[in-house]
Amino acid sequence: MRVAIKSEWLKLRRSRVTLTIGFLVAFAIPLMSYAFYWVADSGGFGPLAVKADGLIVGTGWDGLFSSSGQIVAAAAFLAFGVAAAWCYGREFADRTFPSLFALAVSRRTISLAKLVVLLLGSLLAVVVMTLVIGALGLMTSLEVSSTSIVGGLGRVFAIGLLSALLAVVAGLVASIGRGYLPALGLLIGLVAIAQLAVLFGTGGWFPFAVPGLIAVAGAEGVPAVTGVQIALVPLLCAVIAFLTARWWGSAQAV
């Protein structure tokens, strides 16, 4: 396993795709979140300001946490999903999949190693993202929050991490579909379905809607997400990891 993780980490570290995604999550998402909060807080009457004001709950730190949570829930899921689609799908697009046969390291192990490095990379990006959001709030001297700053940042961190766990589904679909495109289509579809699940009031039991629901927790008419519903996210991630490894173990190089 160590050899496989080392190889996959090297590929992830050298890829422009994953470096760009890491940069976007770590820096672009915090800047977008702050900009969205700032537009809502500025009291303007433009279409964006009205839209932002309707979505963001609270002012000061509360407003920034609300803005960050909602943006992270969608953007981080898509970003990490693209990384997962690339990590698995590139073996088919670059035609390296046949070269992963007849090795001392099994394909099942390689599949799990891909998952490990994706989650490690995602964790790193989410940590930096959370720190940058905190730094933006401190630098602009936001009003004191109704919850602690550490608690609010912890919630944003959790939303990012849950999004990363859910995004591994793109790896499974990229494997079965033998390329990136099926996985990219699925990611967009899942974001849309999650929105519908929330609208119909069943979002808490649809794991892909859970990060978004945590982001708007406390808003009027939004049911609280239970511990069991949150626990479904890592459980689903484990099931996806198992299915992906099984597929890699039995797939042929046709």
Partner 1 sequence: MTTLEGRSLSLSFGVHQVLSNLDLELKAGEIHAIVGLNGAGKTTVMRVLLGMLRPDVGEVLIAGKPIDGLQSDDWSSIGYLIETPFVYPELTVRENLSMAASLKGVASGDVADLVDRAIVRLGVGQWADRRSAELSLGNMQRLGLAGAVVHNPDFLVLDEPVNALDPSGVLMVRKLLKEEVERGSGILVSSHHLDEIARVADRITVIHRGSVAGTIDPSEADLERRFFHIAYEADAAAGLVTS
Q: Footprint of partner 1 on this chain (CB under 8 A)?
A: 3-4, 6-7, 10-11, 14-16, 94-96, 98-106, 252-254
Angle at which helix 60-93 crosses helix 107-139, to 10 degrees, equals 150
Min separation Cβ 100 and partner 1, Å? 8
Min separation Cβ 251 and partner 1, Å? 10
Min separation Cβ 19 and partner 1, Å? 10
Residue with Cβ nearer partner 1 (150 or 253)? 253
Min separation Cβ 106 and partner 1, Å? 7
Structure tokens at 43: 């009291």
Residue with Cβ nearer partner 1 (141 or 250)? 250
Is 17 exposed, middle or buried, given 0-12, 13-18 or 19+ CB atoms closer than 10 A? middle
Min separation Cβ 154 and partner 1, Å? 35
| Secondary structure string (H, E, C) spanning the chain | CHHHHHHHHHHHHHCHHHHHHHHHHHHHHHHHHHHHHHHHHCCCCCHHHHHHHHHCCCCHHHHHHHHHHHHHHHHHHHHHHHHHHHHHHHHHHCCCHHHHCCCCCCHHHHHHHHHHHHHHHHHHHHHHHHHHHHHHHHHCCCCCCCCCHHHHHHHHHHHHHHHHHHHCHHHHHHHHCCCHHHHHHHHHHHHHHHHHHHHCCCHHHCHHHHHHHHHCCCCCCCCCCCHHHHHHHHHHHHHHHHHHHHHHHHCCCC
Residue with Cβ nearer partner 1 (55 or 108)? 108
Min separation Cβ 226 and partner 1, Å? 43
Residue with Cβ nearer partner 1 (108 or 143)? 108
Residue with Cβ nearer partner 1 (10 or 188)? 10
Residue with Cβ nearer partner 1 (16 or 43)? 16
Min separation Cβ 86 and partner 1, Å? 11
Residue with Cβ nearer partner 1 (103 or 188)? 103
DSSP result, 172-199: HHHHHTTSHHHHHHHHHHHHHHHHHHHH
